Amino acid sequence: MHFPFFTLALATGVTLNPFLASCTEDSKPRPLPSSFGVLLFPSFEAIDVFGPLDALNLFSAQRQLKLSLIAPTLDPISTAPRSAAMNPFNSTFSESIVPTHTFDTAPDLDVLLIPGGVGTRSPDPFFDDHLAFIRSRFPKLRYLITVCTGAHLAAKAGILDGRNATTNKRAWALAPVYGPKVRWIAHARWVADGKVWTSSGVSAGIDALLAWVAEVYGVEHADELALFMEYERHVDPSWDPFAEYYNLTDHLPSL
């Protein structure tokens, strides 16, 4: 006799979606994440933001998603280097993005994305408000996703303490400086530790975002997005070729 898979799953207790796991007979499934925020700062890495956002742009044609671009003010935020030392040829080649919300006006979020970039190396006082925003919003977030050295900001905010995480492999030596209490995993393309997802450098954010879509919404959606993007994604979170290239090892907190 043939039973529909959904009926069979209910009969056997199999969970079809991670958000059903905590539901009781009398409760409704928790709605899937729909409200996304991106934390912006000067000298962010363009693909750290626009790689994951392009996948979500496409995904928003299939379901209602809301996006907030968040910064201290509503002034445009540029990818341009903030110091002359990082721009030795005096190039005028950068892009700007206009925030939709400030730290004070940002709505409730399901997911916060923190990109990386050379701007993450700005002196501590510059990021005080950003770090305060991360700390204040983290408890109510359903997911925090960092790309590249965005993990350094999350680490400085204390969010990654005691967790497994990864970050840009070219900037690997900086990881324990910003997060001495974090278990930094060298060969990870991305790491999922509870509600915190961290990716390796730059384009790895696309791999992590698609893996997150697969985990939360279903593998078929991630596969469809990758196909539409004509993107051949990494599907093994434990292998990053750039860790091999730089011959890196894990940074683990000293006991």
Give the residue with greater pLDDT, 25 vs 51.
51
Section 106-120 average pLDDT: 98
**E-assigned strands of the chain?**
35-39, 66-71, 77-78, 96-97, 101-102, 111-114, 143-146, 164-165, 183-184, 190-193, 196-199
Q: From CA 253, how far away is CA 178, in angstroms rounded?
A: 12
**Interval 52-102: pLDDT, tens:** 999 999 999 999 999 999 999 999 999 999 888 889 999 999 999 999 999
Q: Is the pLDDT of residue 129 over 70?
A: yes
Section 179-194 average pLDDT: 99
pTM over 0.75: yes
pLDDT at 87: 93
Identify the structural domains of the chain with CATH numbers, from first to last. Answer: 33-73+97-246 (3.40.50.880)
What's the whole-number average pLDDT of the chain? Answer: 91
Kindly indicate the confidence band of residue 189, based on its pLDDT and cuts at 50, 70 and 90.
very high
The set of residues, in sequence order, having a beta carbon less than 8 Å from that of 243 and lying 6+ positions away, is: 169, 186, 187, 188, 200
Report the DSSP pairing between strands 66-71 and 35-39. Answer: parallel
DSSP per residue, 117-145: SGGGGS-GGGGHHHHHHHHHHGGG-SEEE
